[in-house]
Amino acid sequence: MENHFSDDDSGGQAVSFLLEENERIHLLHPQQIIAYQGPSSGRADRLMDLKGMYRKKKLIRADMTGPCRFTAALPPGYRIKSITLNGDDDLLYDFKHLFYYSEGISMQTRILSMKNMVVTRDVVKIKFSGKGSFGLLTEGTVCEAALDPVKPLYVDAGSVIAYPENASLELTVYGNHLASQHMSYQWKMTGSGPVLFQAGRQNRRFEQEIREDGLLKRFLREVLPFGGVIIK
């Protein structure tokens, strides 16, 4: 399978897929397909299972079988992060980010702790295994940082895409009194392995502040306790 990306003037992106003979992927957002070339039988839409319906809030997935090529449109600011597996993956992912996965990839659920359920508003995370690839829908650039068993890494809680199953997580803030009051909640993470996080969520906030906020509103957001959370 080959992927090619292109951008338009509005900030949106399109991703093109080229599938070889009998190669198959499962696309979880079939309504985003804007162009297709191949036999009509190369696309078969199917009802998702109950777990998939609940996690994606969608009913239909598209099974795409090669040889074919097709293009899917992405909203402005969103990107696809493709990940290739050759066995087990130690990372836990949020199912809502999943855009496609290839034949040969399997998923197992991991139930979160009660504390993490309350914060993330999700019950489970997904662990992938097998041989193949899958694609994650992300806001902006995907960054990666390595965890340390002793020195904690602080990452904006809403920006985390994936983290190792062995990681220790604590919801917190950091910095001095003023910094801790107006920042978003952070995951304090220790362990070993990589953490993936997206940059677009913060970029959207920054752009909104630059374009729309007046001086008084920006001052109150910075000075008031938790002003960044309360004042939108």
pLDDT tens-place string over residues 58-71? 678 999 999 999 99
H-state helical runs in the chain: 50-56, 114-120, 177-182, 200-212, 215-223, 227-230
* Domain boundaries of the chain, sorted by first residue: 16-73, 74-222
Q: Does pLDDT of 229 surpass 60?
A: no
What strands, in cross-sheet order, belong to the sheet with 186-190?
A: 153-156, 186-190, 168-172
pLDDT, residue 16, reads: 93
Return mean pLDDT, the chain.
82
pLDDT, residue 57, reads: 61
Residue 177 CA to chain centroid, in angstroms? 31
pLDDT grade for 175, boundaries at 50, 70 and 90: very high
Hey, what are 92's tokens?
A: 């836990």
From 30-39, 112-121, 147-156, the region with the lowest mean pLDDT: 112-121
Hey, what are 139's tokens?
A: 């806001």
- From the options 3.60.160.10, 3.90.1150.10, 3.90.1170.50, 3.30.930.10, give the CATH code of 74-222: 3.60.160.10
Name residue, tokens 């960054």: 143
